[in-house]
Amino acid sequence: QVKIRMNELQKIKKFVDEISRYQEKILAKSLDGEYCVNAKSILGLFSLDLEQPIVIEFEDNARIEGFLQPYKA
């Protein structure tokens, strides 16, 4: 699990475009864990409070962790 911050429209769009290439199940959660959405869904991401960091959960995969580096909070 990795905390990331995405508060710009272009950054969110790029994130969804790139994360959608992975076949693994990837979830995005609010920092308090109350809300959980598919991280590959732009509408799902917009339902979260993007002014706060969000938590990305995925199966242990070094490729995904490397992809998330520029977004880390």
Q: Which residue has the higher pLDDT, 1 or 30?
A: 30
Residues in the chain, overall count = 73
- pLDDT above 70 covers a percentage of the chain that reads 99
Query: What span, in angstroms and rounded, lies between the C-alpha atoms of 24 and 49?
Result: 24
Query: What span, in angstroms and rounded, lies between the C-alpha atoms of 1 and 61?
Result: 10
* pLDDT of 38 over the 90 cut: yes
What average pLDDT does the segment 47-51 reach?
93
DSSP for the chain, please give it. Answer: -EEE---SHHHHHHHHHHHTT--S-EEEEETTSS-EEETT-HHHHHTS-TTS-EEEEESS-HHHHHHHGGGB-
